[in-house]
Amino acid sequence: MIMNTLNYKLLGLNCDACVKISTMKLKNVPGVHDVKIDSTSGKTEICAERHIELEELNESLRGTDFTLTK
């Protein structure tokens, strides 16, 4: 299986709990295998088995104060 690594910046982070919540929500997107978020910079790396559009990832964060951006 070929993995895609998607790199974004996560806006709206304030604490480690923010990282945990956003990681959990992003991991619920079908095809996502791993999520790594740097709590200081917001740098986010998503490892997925398919290319996932930014809109789909942001949809998984609906209801939070977090937004992924390029």
Domain boundaries, the chain: 1-49
Q: Where are the alpha helices (DSSP H) in the chain?
A: 16-27, 54-60
User: Which residue's entry shows tokens 């939070």?
Assistant: 64
pTM over 0.85: yes
Per-residue pLDDT at 3 = 87
- Evaluate if residue 8 carries a pLDDT over 80: yes
Q: What is the pLDDT of residues 10-30, one digit of tens each?
A: 999 999 999 999 999 999 999
On whether the 1-49 domain is CATH 3.30.70.100, my answer is yes
Task: At 17, list the tokens.
Answer: 């709990």
Q: What is the pLDDT of residues 37-69, one digit of tens each?
A: 999 999 999 999 999 999 999 999 999 999 999
